[in-house]
Structure 1
């Protein structure tokens, strides 16, 4: 299989020079670009073809490469050939740097060269660079006559310059494929269900389809998805693998799986991308780009740094990136992105594929079947994606900004104040409309078009203003508000029938929210940028719901694995005597604390109890401690940094000498992603069915899906709550030797509406009618569990 090289990637890698910031795309480019392209293309004549795919096979060092890309437009007629490249930005054309224009024309020249290869009868082509300035909609067109001889020489020089990197990439690819051919599964044997999952993933990759997988804890889903994907890579079925996650802990598990396979001889380049604000060096904080040594001359030092890194490292973690970035004085975040172009496996957050503001344009500006996506813990993507495609803006910061911009009242108003006041007037008009109608909030189906136009103008002004300012409180405050306005405008460009706009007037301040109620179409488009995807989690019940909300309803397959652990190793106990609805909570406090004590009294050990809110947690904790002061307790705090979280978990030691009950929030930081194996945890209680708190925005989701399929309450409240329950319960059984109690404290769990959502390994659940029955049932369970508790070391949890 010939390796594909994108035209933009080729041109930018070879021709980029100078500082990092001078070739940065405009902030408005990403979302406005595609829409503006379509508008300009549709205005051309009938003999104009848009998005024309051009390619050329190039052989170097006995290896085939395909240089390919889509020209924005080509016009062929009796007057000759014209090829157009369209660029969009909020920066005036005459302010573009020479290097930026060189990159634009470099792409045009490659497209021109490829077009002339397809038309040997032509000796020249007219190149047209069409530049659209977004804010004022100004179009600048420049044309050049590009002769065949000039284009032949340009393309030859370009490829010659890139040849070293092509040869390096080919050598790395050959070593990778050779190592994969002999790569064994990294454990002596497959766990139950593991081989079937690996086979399903491999088949999905071969068929370029989409697969949703529910893989319960213990199936080893990380290694069971990575291993077959890497095997397919060794057969040249895919060229690059993206492992997308929601949490750092999951990314570490993926890194560990790669390390494990490397011990068996795997030779590939993997990289873990870290968020910009986490990986930037301290010296870069509060420093303007023109004063930042890690950005100045960045592209002049990039290639030696890449050569150094790729020669010496295979698994490129955050620590590795930071080491080489400091060695070569490069911004570590941008260096990681440039390094990723040479990597086979890219481990990163969901944002880098799905988020319309930060997705990786270098990989996802167009579809590429050689990319494949593994999306882990995909149940998290439901709420995350709604956040990604929603935005809010308020007039509240404007008063503070005006004071900062004019500390002395005698000082005349400046340009920044003038633009801020324009934005404030737009908000005032919207607030007045609400007040006149005696409303404090309103929901409308249409976007706030007039405000969006005002914010676009404001964003254009601030873009120039920021470049002229020195660090300080005013700069920081304006930049924060600018990013909020910028995001709001970008999301406004995506607005469609899945959106509602919510206006909320609190006191004198108005907040406007563009709410994406159903991001499934956006997620589907993102997934179509690769050759297929496997989306998996330990909890994807009911499967049809996740396929619908995650964009896979029409064109995906589903696979649900059984739990590899003996179902009778955990007692699933449903209390029919506890009610936790809002009006019944107070009356049921004694029953809840008595039930918790019954669970603890049967066997000393470590236990967790989860609550739907922090306030409810504090209420039950106080009542429990008052009734049972001899029982040791601990609780999740309202805010905890990484060290505080670890300190909380460290209290749950193996072979405890006394009982410990931990109070946690359902859906919070300890309800998933923690692994307390063996007897570090022997019981989990869950108070309530976990319904999200009733609020106007969740009600909008409910109403939307009621209109779509009549399942509004289930989609907005019941199923998200039940997923939190399943995730929390999943903290208990982490290996084949673990045993314990899952205590469901809410009579609603006994109704068919909930029992039909129970996973298959909960088939032996028992309904409990009283505290005394609970005590007897738990005592009987522990009497039957006489197998010694120790960690399962036969197979990694990855």
Structure 2
């Protein structure tokens, strides 16, 4: 299967030069751009064909490459052939840099060359660049005539320039594939279920399907998905793997899996993408691009830097990227994106595929069957995606901005004040509606069109205004509000039947929220940008729920693996005598403390107790300490950084002779992604069924699903809460030698509504009706484990 190279990718890589001018923050979105394209294309004559696919196979160094792309439009008449390239942006056409125009013309010249190769009788074509300025709706058309000889010379120059990189890619691909042929699984044996998962992943890639997988803790999900996917790479079934995660810790696990395979002979290029604000050098902060030495002349230094890093490194981690970026004086974030074009495995956050504002356009501007997606801990994508497709804007910052923007001798113009006051008046109108209706909030299914129109005008003004300003407190404050407005407008362009608008009056300020209640269609579209996907987690029950909310209802397969560990190694104890609903908490405190005491005094060791909120955590911890003054405790606190998180976990040491009880928030940073193996953790208690707190926005999700499938409470509250419970319980058994107790402190767990959601390896759960019975059951469990250990 020949390697496919996009025309835009080819032209931009070869012809781009000079400074790195970050894309100006425009209101132009891919959706809006596509809409403008269709609008212009539909206005053309009957002789006009839109979205014409053109390609040519080029053989270099014994390898075939397909140079391909879609021309926006081709019009064939008696007067000849015209090829149109449509571009949209907020900038005035006259303000475009020379290099930007060269890139635009370069694309359409390649289309001209490909068309004349397909039409031997055509000796020249007319090229038309149609530029649509979004902010003013001004259309600028420019034309050039391209002869066959000129097109062949131009294309040959492009290919000659790119030949090194084509050859490099081919050599890297041959090296990669040769190393994969006999690549062994990097462990002596497969764990239970691991081989079956690997086979399912491989078949999914071969068949270009979408697969949802529940693989319980201990399955070894990362290597079980990456290994078969790498095997598929070696057979040219796909060209590029994206390993998408929600957390930095899981990105490190993916890096370790690639390294492990490399120690067994794998030769491929992998890269980990780090967020822009985390990887940028300190000296770049708050420095405009035109003064940033890592951006000035960026493209003039890029190709030597790429040659250097690709020649000497296989695994482009953050540290490696930073080292070479500093060596060649390049912005490390942009350098990582450029280097990723030559990588086989790209490890990155969900945002790079799913977020409508920051996704990687160089990979995902159109569907590409050479991409395949491995989406780790996919249960996290439910809430993350709602946040990605939602936005809020408030009038609260405007008063401060008006004060900063007050005209003086150094700033005589009051244009900014005038535009800010227009925005404030738009919010005031909303405030009056709420006040007149005697309410503090309203919810409706229509987008806030009048506010969106005002913010679009404001953004157009500020976009131009910022270009003319020197650094100042005012510029920084206006830029921050501009970004908020920009996001709000862009999300407004996506508004459909899955959205609600929420207007909230809080004191003198108004907040307007565009709430995406069901992002499943957007996620489905994102996943369709590749050949297929495997979406996996330790907890995906019930599977139909996750397929529904993550865009896989009509086009995905499901696979659930059993736990690889003996179910009887953990006792699942459900207390029927504890009620943790808000009104019963004061009455149940004594029973909870007695139950926790029974759990932690039966055997010295380390325990975690999960509670649904910081307030409840503080209450129960204080009561526990009062009842057990000799037992050491520790607790999760708000806003813990990486060092304090690690310090918390480091307290849980193996072979503990004294008891340590850690109190954590259910659904928080210690509910998943931590690995306390062996006897570093021997018991987990979970207080409550983990329901999200009652609030207006979650109620909107409930009402939406009540209307669409009649399962509103389950989709909005019960199932997200139960996932938190299962994730917390999953901290206990991490290997085949681990044993311990999961104590579920809420009588609701004993109801059919919850026991039906218990995973298969909880089949031996026991219902407990009193503290004495609990103590006896715990003692019996540890006695059985001791006997089993001795045998």
TM-score bracket for this pair, using the shorter chain length: over 0.9
Whole-Å separation in 1 of the counterparts to 2:769 and 2:788: 31
3-state SS of 1:504 partner:
strand
Whole-Å separation in 1 of the counterparts to 2:304 and 2:788: 57
Whole-Å separation in 2 of the counterparts to 1:188 and 1:789: 25
User: 8 Å contact 1:31–1:356 — kept in the other structure?
Assistant: no
Whole-Å separation in 1 of the counterparts to 2:614 and 2:286: 36
1:257/1:789 CA distance change after superposition, 3 Å: farther
Name 1:94's counterpart in structure 2: 94
Whole-Å separation in 2 of the counterparts to 1:125 and 1:360: 33
Whole-Å separation in 1 of the counterparts to 2:787 and 2:457: 70
Task: Describe the superposition over 1:343-392 as per-residue Cα deviations: whole angstroms up to 9, x where unpaired.
Answer: 00000000000000000000000011011000000000000000000000
1:552 to partner: Cα distance: 0.5
The 5 A counterparts of 1:209-248 are: 209-248=209-248
The 5 A counterparts of 1:388-403 are: 388-403=388-403
Query: Is 1:203 matched up with 2:173?
Result: no
1:325/1:410 CA distance change after superposition, 3 Å: closer
3-state SS of 1:524 partner:
helix
Name 1:780's counterpart in structure 2: 780
Name 2:662's counterpart in structure 1: 662
Number of corresponding residues: 790
Task: Describe the superposition over 1:422-470 as per-residue Cα deviations: whole angstroms up to 9, x where unpaired.
Answer: 1111111121122122221101111111111111111122222222323
Task: Describe the superposition over 1:271-312 as per-residue Cα deviations: whole angstroms up to 9, x where unpaired.
Answer: 000000000000001111111000000000000000000000
Whole-Å separation in 1 of the counterparts to 2:25 and 2:115: 27
User: 8 Å contact 1:406–1:413 — kept in the other structure?
Assistant: no
3-state SS of 1:64 partner:
strand
Whole-Å separation in 2 of the counterparts to 1:257 and 1:617: 36
The 5 A counterparts of 1:91-130 are: 91-130=91-130
CA RMSD, aligned part only? Answer: 1.5
Name 2:712's counterpart in structure 1: 712
User: 8 Å contact 2:268–2:314 — kept in the other structure?
Assistant: yes
Name 2:273's counterpart in structure 1: 273
Which segments of 5 or more consecutive residues in structure 1 lack a partner in the other structure?
791-798
3-state SS of 2:53 partner:
strand
User: 8 Å contact 2:113–2:151 — kept in the other structure?
Assistant: yes
1:407/1:763 CA distance change after superposition, 3 Å: farther
1:48 to partner: Cα distance: 2.2
1:787/1:161 CA distance change after superposition, 3 Å: farther
Name 2:577's counterpart in structure 1: 577
Query: Is 1:733 matched up with 2:729?
Result: no
User: 8 Å contact 1:678–1:789 — kept in the other structure?
Assistant: no
1:116 to partner: Cα distance: 1.6
User: 8 Å contact 1:738–1:789 — kept in the other structure?
Assistant: no
The 5 A counterparts of 1:136-535 are: 136-406=136-406, 414-535=414-535
User: 8 Å contact 2:574–2:747 — kept in the other structure?
Assistant: yes
The two structures have a TM-score, normalised by structure 1, of: 0.97
Question: Following superposition, which runs of at least 4 residues in structure 1 exceed 3 angstroms of deviation?
Answer: 22-27, 407-413, 787-790
Query: Is 1:13 matched up with 2:13?
Result: yes
Query: Is 1:752 matched up with 2:752?
Result: yes
Whole-Å separation in 1 of the counterparts to 2:24 and 2:450: 29
Name 1:597's counterpart in structure 2: 597
User: 8 Å contact 2:25–2:463 — kept in the other structure?
Assistant: no
1:788 to partner: Cα distance: 8.9
Name 2:767's counterpart in structure 1: 767
Whole-Å separation in 2 of the counterparts to 1:17 and 1:113: 23
3-state SS of 2:583 partner:
coil
Task: Describe the superposition over 1:238-295 as per-residue Cα deviations: whole angstroms up to 9, x where unpaired.
Answer: 1000000000000000000000000011000000000000000000011111110000
The 5 A counterparts of 1:577-726 are: 577-726=577-726
1:735/1:712 CA distance change after superposition, 3 Å: same
Whole-Å separation in 2 of the counterparts to 1:782 and 1:42: 74
1:300/1:29 CA distance change after superposition, 3 Å: farther
1:216 to partner: Cα distance: 0.5
1:530 to partner: Cα distance: 0.2
Name 1:793's counterpart in structure 2: none
Whole-Å separation in 1 of the counterparts to 2:348 and 2:220: 19
3-state SS of 2:578 partner:
coil
1:630 to partner: Cα distance: 1.3
User: 8 Å contact 2:270–2:314 — kept in the other structure?
Assistant: yes
The two structures have a TM-score, normalised by structure 2, of: 0.98
Name 2:557's counterpart in structure 1: 557
Task: Describe the superposition over 1:396-425 as per-residue Cα deviations: whole angstroms up to 9, x where unpaired.
Answer: 001111112228699755222121111111
Name 1:796's counterpart in structure 2: none
1:107/1:46 CA distance change after superposition, 3 Å: same
Whole-Å separation in 2 of the counterparts to 1:125 and 1:450: 45
Whole-Å separation in 1 of the counterparts to 2:23 and 2:696: 43
Whole-Å separation in 1 of the counterparts to 2:661 and 2:749: 23
3-state SS of 1:236 partner:
coil
3-state SS of 1:716 partner:
helix
User: 8 Å contact 1:124–1:147 — kept in the other structure?
Assistant: yes
Task: Describe the superposition over 1:301-324 as per-residue Cα deviations: whole angstroms up to 9, x where unpaired.
Answer: 000000000000000000000000
1:725 to partner: Cα distance: 0.3
More deviation in 18-27 or 81-90?
18-27
Task: Describe the superposition over 1:72-103 as per-residue Cα deviations: whole angstroms up to 9, x where unpaired.
Answer: 12222333222211111111111100100000
3-state SS of 1:406 partner:
coil
1:789/1:343 CA distance change after superposition, 3 Å: farther
3-state SS of 2:531 partner:
coil
1:140 to partner: Cα distance: 1.5
More deviation in 284-293 or 400-409?
400-409
User: 8 Å contact 2:26–2:463 — kept in the other structure?
Assistant: no
Whole-Å separation in 2 of the counterparts to 1:245 and 1:482: 29
User: 8 Å contact 1:31–1:490 — kept in the other structure?
Assistant: no
